[in-house]
Structure 1
């Protein structure tokens, strides 16, 4: 290989090795170390410094032979001030000239640096440099070293630009500033907004009994005692509620006494009828009176038998609290509790009228119970109320009934949670803007 002026094989070998190290650097700290320390094998300087742009101007970020830069040290202050005074406007390499420096910089020069300083911009020709490399030596750099310095300046500038945190943002902005990228971005946004998604709504829900037996008061009275606990399993024929029987029992005893009186009068009329025509005429009246008293006694007995309410089938007793019913007056037909089959369950959902468009029979549903929020249970809508009603929170809601298609061992009547009802598929833009559009139409009346 023919060698250029002032360039030997050792320098070229060192050049290739340093260039490889620079391109292999994975972070700015490693790259700065290579620039200020490994370059000595190529240029043969006494010491070097790397000057990079900062928030308030050009600052030293690395110095050869030291682990960190002392920003308050004499050398760093002198380099930054000397560089600022003599940096060329065209960003070309230059030799530090003492005549162009201030008095302080000239006076300090001999104490902190060798006599010859060569400063090289690191970057591609024609573009603003990423940094500057400060090379100080006892003798001026020869022609070969200067040529190699210019070559390495482009390598270092490229490596600094690649690792700079601003490069990726600047590159992205440059790409986006082109029209075709804006069009591609707009097309991508449109495609995303047209993606089909399912409409969905969340609503409070509760597991309730399906087709429960209603245990209601058979007559006007006062509840004496509830004989079963809430959610207690009961058998068919088991006593559930006892009403106060004082008035009913008195009515039965009165009816019994009146029947005995009527029977005695009938017997007397029958005995007198043999000799007295008037008594024979009263026989029909006495018999009717006895029949009436028998009916009254039978009715009183029937009412007395209904004082204790019994279960018509096996199930669980569903009501609030026994203390809420003890001593409470009830009217005929007033519900006291429900008797439900624990295996027959359904979900009652209170769906806001704002989500009425999701109401359709056989729509899929997922139930997230408060006690098991990470184990949703699948189901389907089976019934929707004809018109909305005001709930306990003064909100207008539709009462929706759903059947569970999934089973869990811990499912039981009374559990509460949140139901997610899914509707038809619509574009994503409609899913996102449905509520704002509805609110806007309600506001402007269009």
Structure 2
């Protein structure tokens, strides 16, 4: 039994089934598969391809009888080139003629495609096509074929619009707009993002001595032995480090002997000066030489006295392993250890450049020690370095010095933890999205 216009009952039934499947598609990928494969029951064809608009023109996104499109295949490239040569300014169905194609496209046609091909716009009525359906077979196309192809393509156009992300997003915003609860929620979120909060950053921190005394080498030499243990308490005048005294002692002995010789020559000339005018004339020179030797001996004695480095005041010596210094040559002024007052402490914070915020003197700081993370200690920023420096771990950081507002029994020099430093107040939205904004600015250069 045939329907009016040459449409038999089987094709109409297949059309209804394709419409049902298209409207039930849950993704564009599923809809593409239906459009090039299941439409064969409505319009008899041997090959079908779906082309969608892309940056470089119309691109094949689905091909009948294959699970995925190979962009490098001859068929896909040929179809895209043939469609690109068509005048698609009018959204109407048209048959593609081999006569209007260049030599290459005409020569390849017989290898990859049947003789009769038709392009059908995939769009809802009154809209610009976002896709075209390419179907091909050996037999000529009838008016019934054209009618059914346009009808099924119109169904696919409606389905593509319904599944487009823009349509879904618009529907969501529309529902929120119509919903008083959604609108209220949106207002509350915007209001919450405007709440002022302090901009803060976390950074490694360590309790260090405030204004420690530097114990440095008074002259070039070799460390013979460190006389104290690390982190030991010492008293004023207690020996800390002994340098090798061989060279200094030899210089003192030589200067001492030279002084004796100069004094002897001066005493002899003094005795002979009563009878010998020549000796009397040399007295001034010999006296000056003896005085020079006396100065040289005093200087050598001063050097010898500095062989042992002593504590200038009571305190705590801060250094690492004594074995690191034994037998090690040192230069004049080279730091060996620090002598600090245990009660005079401050916090040194190494703020990474990536987390740097504007800090001023007096900005609040909280210290969370690794040994007592649940007992934060309040403090205030004392100063911030003007430019970053490189740490031993090759990390660029700003050095922040802070002082604690309270003293606790367990605080001692060397404890480590994490410091939270706070800057000026900013909106909560900026506080949350500061890092994404910074990354986006560095990526795009804006």
| TM-score normalised to structure 2 length | 0.59
Residue in 2 that maps onto 1:248:
248
What's the CA shift string for 1:80-128, capped at 9, x where partnerless? xxxxxxxxxxxxxxxxxxxxxxxxxxxxxxxxxxxxxxxxxxxxxxxxx
Is 1:318 the counterpart of 2:322? The answer is no
Question: SS at 1:387's partner residue?
Answer: coil
Residue in 2 that maps onto 1:221:
221
Residue in 2 that maps onto 1:348:
348
What's the CA shift string for 1:388-434, capped at 9, x where partnerless? 11112222211110001122211000011110011222111100111
**Where in structure 2 are there 5+ consecutive unaligned residues?**
1-174
Aligned-pair distance for 1:352? 1.6
Question: SS at 2:229's partner residue?
Answer: coil
Aligned-pair distance for 1:267? 1.1
Residue in 2 that maps onto 1:305:
305
Residue in 2 that maps onto 1:403:
403
Residue in 1 that maps onto 2:365:
365
Check whether the contact 1:377–1:407 (CA below 8 A) recurs between aligned residues: no
Is 1:296 the counterpart of 2:296? The answer is yes
Question: SS at 1:219's partner residue?
Answer: coil
Residue in 2 that maps onto 1:42:
none
Residue in 1 that maps onto 2:206:
206
- Computed over aligned residues only, the root mean square deviation of the Cα atoms, in angstroms, reads 1.8
**Where in structure 1 are there 5+ consecutive unaligned residues?**
1-174
Check whether the contact 1:203–1:349 (CA below 8 A) recurs between aligned residues: yes
Check whether the contact 1:385–1:399 (CA below 8 A) recurs between aligned residues: yes
Residue in 1 that maps onto 2:334:
334
Which deviates further from its counterpart, 285-294 or 421-430?
A: 421-430
Question: SS at 2:394's partner residue?
Answer: coil
Residue in 2 that maps onto 1:278:
278
Aligned-pair distance for 1:295? 0.3
Question: SS at 2:186's partner residue?
Answer: helix
Check whether the contact 1:358–1:421 (CA below 8 A) recurs between aligned residues: no
Mapped to 2, the partners of 1:274 and 1:281 lie a distance apart of 11
Mapped to 2, the partners of 1:176 and 1:439 lie a distance apart of 31
Residue in 1 that maps onto 2:189:
189
Instruction: Say how many residue pairs are matched.
Output: 274
Aligned-pair distance for 1:176? 6.1
Question: SS at 1:298's partner residue?
Answer: helix
Aligned-pair distance for 1:357? 2.5
Aligned-pair distance for 1:274? 2.1
Check whether the contact 2:225–2:326 (CA below 8 A) recurs between aligned residues: yes
What's the CA shift string for 1:247-275, capped at 9, x where partnerless? 11111111110000000111111122222
Aligned-pair distance for 1:177? 8.4
Aligned-pair distance for 1:276? 2.2
What's the CA shift string for 1:165-184, capped at 9, x where partnerless? xxxxxxxxxx9684323222
Question: SS at 1:373's partner residue?
Answer: coil
Mapped to 2, the partners of 1:423 and 1:360 lie a distance apart of 8
Mapped to 2, the partners of 1:408 and 1:358 lie a distance apart of 29
Mapped to 1, the partners of 2:326 and 2:234 lie a distance apart of 20
Aligned-pair distance for 1:290? 0.2
Check whether the contact 2:199–2:357 (CA below 8 A) recurs between aligned residues: no
Question: SS at 1:372's partner residue?
Answer: coil
Check whether the contact 2:234–2:317 (CA below 8 A) recurs between aligned residues: yes
Question: SS at 1:425's partner residue?
Answer: strand
Check whether the contact 2:176–2:183 (CA below 8 A) recurs between aligned residues: no
Check whether the contact 1:209–1:340 (CA below 8 A) recurs between aligned residues: yes
Mapped to 2, the partners of 1:437 and 1:177 lie a distance apart of 28
Aligned-pair distance for 1:356? 3.0
Check whether the contact 1:200–1:358 (CA below 8 A) recurs between aligned residues: no
Residue in 2 that maps onto 1:100:
none
Mapped to 1, the partners of 2:394 and 2:243 lie a distance apart of 35
